Amino acid sequence: MAHDAGGLPNTFPKLLIRNADLYGARIAMRHKNLGIWQSWTWCETLELVRAYAAGLHRLGLKRGETMAIVGANRPKLYWSVMAAQMMGVIPVPVYADAVAEELCFVLAHAEVRFAAVEDQEQVDKILSVQARLPMLEQVIYDESRGLRDYDHTRLHAMESVIEEGRKALAEDPAVRVWLEDTIEAVKGSDPSIILYTSGTTGASKGVVLSHERSIAAAADTVTFDRLTEKDVALAYLPLAWVGDHYLNYVQGMVAGFCMACPESNETAMADLREIGPTFYFAPPRTLEALLTRVMIRMEDAAFLKRKLFHYFLGVARRYGEAILNKKPVPLYGRLMYWLGDLLVYGPLKNVLGFSRVRVAYTAGEAIGPDLFAFYRSIGLNFKQLYGQTEAFLYVTAQPDGEIHSDTVGPACPNVDIRIAEDGEVLFRSPGMFTGYFRADDKTAEVMTPDGFVKTGDAGFFDEKTGHLKIIDRAKDVGRLTDGILFAPKYIENKLKFFPNIREVVAFGDGRDFAGVMINIDLTAVGSWAERNNLAYGSYQELAGHPLVYDMVEKNVAEANRSLAQDAQMAGAQIKRFLILHKELDADDGELTRTQKVRRGFIAERYTPLIDALYDGSHEADISTEVTFEDGRKGVISARVKIRDMAPVPTAAALEKAA
Amino acid sequence: MRATGGPDIAVGDALLSVENVSLSFGGVKAVCDVSFDIRKGEIRAIIGPNGAGKTSMLNIINGFYHPRHGRITFKGVTRSRIKPYQAAQGGIARTFQNVALFRGMTALDNIMAGRTLKMHSNFFWQLLRYGPALNEEVAHRKRVEEIIDFLKIQDIRRTPVGRLPYGLQKRVELGRALAMEPELLLLDEPMAGMNLEEKEDMSRFILDVNDHFGTTIALIEHDMGVVMDISDRVVVLDHGIKIADGTPEEVKSDQAVIEAYLGVAH
């Protein structure tokens, strides 16, 4: 699998040395401290990391061992990663907000003897579980506040470890020789890091990545997005997450660009604005929160500004994406867009800290088409990617100019993707993991005999664009009785992007057609009702109102039209829908505490409604027990109406008809 | 709550001692013949039921009230009447029961205000913000930034304090008191009106201030859990009279305290 990474060194320490040679005086890292941005060049970074490695060596850390790294995005913790890699030690980052139990699990599983941590909070967490960590010997901390009275026999300030190392390097030639030999001895195939997956499904697993594979993967994407040493990224997402390690740390090392660390978690937004990154990543919910904030602030703006804002957003909606995708746009459109950029988009991007963003990604969950279009229309090159820790992030990514809100793009360079019989996406990539740490059985479970990795996600290649579409978790995907693929989450997401609709449960596995139960969004529909003089006394009454049904019907028809675009999904269009008489609620066990629908439980609880969905009747009676906030129980009964939908002809059928 | 290991807090000579102090407003005896001392480096709590004379005691210590009888010795100097600003110059800083910040100013400016006494360049240079005045401001700003970092309020540096939630305002107020680099810090109910998490944060900051800057702290607090956890010694007042004085354990088991304060139904 290892392929030539464009003449790059194949280990991180050698890469660091290369960067010091090539970009010596350029800034490698920034960190805002005491209100002022501090910076370190690649040369300084190399010197620091060498000293740090020597210091750790003096403390007894040996090649092949592991070292835990716990804390927020701070230069000293990134240096800890570099220093560990330099001496052939495998860094094991742990989420800063992990509770003591999780921390204990990872530290014990990775057999950690050394831990580099941020501050007293992390030290306290480790001390609270140290009885169960007999392996753990030394803890190194960055920030000394509150630690003065602690027993320092096994506790060291990072500063002094680096200082001791610096002295040793200067005075003792043997240490210098040791360091040079060690840097030489670290092989490309050695593990470079172990990233523990969050463990939403069972215990977390340690994904082992190697030096050469990590570098090879990043070399491809750096070329793909034309990242250079002149770029800047803000490292504000958890250090232990594959995204931060890949996008900022490894790409930064490969391209030689500057990674900036925010002053604190809470200041990340303000720091973003000060730094003005050129490369940016944000999950969809962050983008949504940002947009909401902008819209709320605009509502409070003066009349003229508000008018101007909405007018030019309209211009952006019409021409923005086309301009970004370098498609032909009439001169008038270009002129208006230019004016809009001057008056609205430019200042807006400046406020958000996006003025210099050249490449931006979003990933992690489905993104609403309107949300995605908003950011792209004001000229931000947001793209989607699909990835996994096991792949060392990238499996697919959208190239510039080929952007769709519902695909995740074609396979990345040198990545092979195959769709299994049951629709599961399999991949083989340059950066793929070498295995789960100390869990060969689990590694075997996800690997195919010919070296592909099972993602656990179901998807298919879109015929029009050739891009991959991820539709659902593979285990949730079913089939209709006529064998057509049925992916509940894909259908639910299509509907959930409408502001009127809050929650959707789709049924169809083993049935003749797809049917959905819908929860309206009381805030959105309620305010719509108010504006249209529609009187209602309760959620139940509003949900059953014929006009509300008419409105939701339009949304469902829209979703069907969108489904009809995909040859693979067209057969699973929604034929019947109903609007539930009550909101799905975690107190009633219908949602998980993280607000995810519990499909099985709902199917059982609302059996009469589901039966009615499929037996052709237009009304059904239901009475369900509900739990009130104070714990009392009551019964809600209702007569729920069911509507039929006319299927939208598929693209293929339309062609035939023409 | 106290960090394990290492010697317990340095308990040295008396930094401040109050001897036979009495204070009355007309016929109301607020404080009556009270004596106690505050040793260098300790956290000293003053507790008591409502109207026990706790805040009056703090006001006497920082010169806002003048006792009718008795002596106050601070850093070996027995003083008669002093003004609050003289107490501040002498190294006594305080926070207030009701937050007393400049509401329209940012957190940063409020804390900078705590450095006023330490600024030496004259008004006109400061107005010009040039030369020595600028250098001086930069030096002071550095200290203030350290305090901001210490209290973890970087994100609200530029926010007008009037817009901040109560818990954060309290923290800014503590920051302003710290900016004076006091030897003795008087905290008047630093945790009043806070939720559990804010209380824990504030306790941590008080311990850290004591540990990191070696500041002697005298605090008034109603939350018994907090008082017993963080203070080295406790003095108990009731109706202006001292009824107990000692370590939290001693005070907790003192019959007079239990009757006056902890155990009696209101």
pLDDT tens figures, A403-426: 888 889 999 999 999 999 888 999
Instruction: Report, as an integer, the average pLDDT of B69-96.
Output: 86
Amino acid at A14: K
Classify A623 as helix, strand or coil: strand
Residue with tokens 């004001």: A378
Other residues' Cβ atoms within 10 Å of the Cβ of residue A164: 19
- Is B157 an interface residue toward A (CB < 8 Å)? yes
pLDDT at B111 over 90: yes
- A610: exposed, middle or buried (Cβ count in 10 Å: 0-12, 13-18, 19+): buried
Other residues' Cβ atoms within 10 Å of the Cβ of residue B44: 22
Domain boundaries, chain B: 1-91+182-266, 104-181
Other residues' Cβ atoms within 10 Å of the Cβ of residue A25: 9
Could you give phi then psi for residue B154, rounded to 5 degrees? -55, -35
Residue B153 C-alpha, separation from nearest chain A C-alpha, in angstroms: 9
Instruction: Report, as an integer, the average pLDDT of A521-536.
Output: 87
Cross-strand partners of A517: A505, A578
The region, left, alpha or beta by phi > 0 then psi within -120 to 50, assigned to residue B33 is left
Cα separation, A203 vs B111, whole angstroms: 47
Cα separation, B144 vs B175, whole angstroms: 8
The better pLDDT of the pair A245, B131 is held by: A245
ipTM at complex level:
0.76
What pLDDT, on a 0 to 100 scale, did the predictor assign at position A111? Answer: 94
Domains of chain A: 12-278 (3.40.50.12780), 285-355+357-427+448-472 (no CATH), 477-657 (3.30.300.30)
pLDDT at A598 over 70: yes
Tokens of A107: 């530290």
Enumerate residues 207 to 226 of chain B having a beta carbon within 8 A of any beta carbon in chain A. Answer: 207-208, 211-212
Residue A273 C-alpha, separation from nearest chain B C-alpha, in angstroms: 13
B155: nearest CB among A33, A148, A264: A264
- Chain A neighbors of B148, CB-CB under 8 A: 34-35
Cα separation, B7 vs A271, whole angstroms: 41
Residue with tokens 């205000």: B113
Instruction: Report, as an integer, the average pLDDT of B124-140.
Output: 83
Amino acid at A460: F
Chain A / chain B CB contacts < 8 angstroms: 48
Cα separation, A430 vs A212, whole angstroms: 9
A147 — pLDDT class (breaks 50, 70, 90): confident
Of the ranges A97-106, A272-281, B82-91, B113-122, the best mean pLDDT one? A272-281
In terms of residues, how long is chain A? Answer: 658
pLDDT at B2 over 60: no
A62 — pLDDT class (breaks 50, 70, 90): very high
What pLDDT, on a 0 to 100 scale, did the predictor assign at position B51? Answer: 83
Amino acid at A134: P
Could you give phi then psi for residue A274, rounded to 5 degrees? -70, -40
A201 — pLDDT class (breaks 50, 70, 90): low
Of the ranges A78-87, A296-305, B257-266, the best mean pLDDT one? A78-87
A143 touches A72 (CB < 8 A): no
Instruction: Report, as an integer, the average pLDDT of B157-179.
Output: 92
Cα separation, A449 vs A426, whole angstroms: 12
Classify A286 as helix, strand or coil: helix
CA distance readout (Å), B20 to A150, A188, B157, B231, B241: 40, 78, 44, 23, 10
What pLDDT, on a 0 to 100 scale, did the predictor assign at position A475? Answer: 84
pLDDT at A206 over 70: yes
A445 touches A428 (CB < 8 A): no
Residue with tokens 């793209």: A383
Residue with tokens 């990474």: A5
CA distance readout (Å), A116 to A405, B4, B110: 40, 20, 36
Cα separation, B130 vs B141, whole angstroms: 15
Containing A57, the helix (H) or strand (E) segment is helix A42-59
A461 touches A419 (CB < 8 A): yes
- Is B152 an interface residue toward A (CB < 8 Å)? yes
Cα separation, B150 vs A528, whole angstroms: 49
Cα separation, A609 vs A575, whole angstroms: 15
pLDDT at A130 over 80: yes
CB-based contact B212 A148, cutoff 8 Å: yes
- Chain B neighbors of A270, CB-CB under 8 A: 155
CB-based contact B211 A149, cutoff 8 Å: yes
Domain B1-91+182-266 falls under CATH 3.40.50.300 = yes
pLDDT at A652 over 70: no
Cα–Cα nearest to A109, from A192, A186, A197, A190: A197
- Average pLDDT value for chain B: 86
What pLDDT, on a 0 to 100 scale, did the predictor assign at position A543? Answer: 92
A202 — pLDDT class (breaks 50, 70, 90): low
Mutation to test the B interface, candidates A74, A118, A149, most B Cβ within 10 Å = A149
A258 touches A233 (CB < 8 A): yes
Cα–Cα nearest to A389, from A221, A242, A282, A281: A242
What are the tens digits of pLDDT across the range B196-254? Answer: 888 988 998 999 899 888 899 999 988 888 888 999 999 999 888 999 999 999 988 88
Other residues' Cβ atoms within 10 Å of the Cβ of residue B3: 18
Beta pairing, strands A382-388 & A424-428: unpaired
A254 — pLDDT class (breaks 50, 70, 90): very high
Cα separation, A61 vs A76, whole angstroms: 18
Tokens of A568: 């693979």
What are the tens digits of pLDDT across the range A559-569? Answer: 999 888 877 78
CB-based contact A149 B207, cutoff 8 Å: no
Could you give phi then psi for residue A186, rounded to 5 degrees? -65, 125
- Is A607 an interface residue toward B (CB < 8 Å)? no
Classify A43 as helix, strand or coil: helix
Beta pairing, strands A382-388 & A453-461: unpaired
Instruction: Report, as an integer, the average pLDDT of A520-540.
Output: 88
A275 alpha carbon, distance to own chain's centre: 22
- Average pLDDT value for chain A: 90
What pLDDT, on a 0 to 100 scale, did the predictor assign at position A258? Answer: 96
In terms of residues, how long is chain B? Answer: 266
